[in-house]
Amino acid sequence: MATTHDKHLEYLIEQKILELYGDPDAGLELKESFVAELRRRTRKKQKTIPLSAVLKKYGLR
């Protein structure tokens, strides 16, 4: 059975791993101009290229 000390140590290790490998941008806010541009681009109809065409173009198929 894990002791309180073991559980605390496990928590500290988990926090350090999250600190080292977690999302470095977590908690940061996006600039309003970026959000507006992202919304504009997602509403805009754009020509897409099928995956098969991309693979053929680069000799991957």
Each residue's pLDDT tens digit, 4-39: 999 999 999 999 998 888 888 888 999 999 999 999
Domain span including residue 39? 4-57
3-state SS class at 15: helix
Q: What is the pLDDT of residue 46?
A: 84
| Cα-based distances in Å from 1 to 8, 12, 15, 55 | 14, 18, 22, 54
Number of domains in the chain: 1
| Cα-based distances in Å from 53 to 25, 47, 56 | 34, 13, 5
Residue with the two structure tokens 């681009």: 41
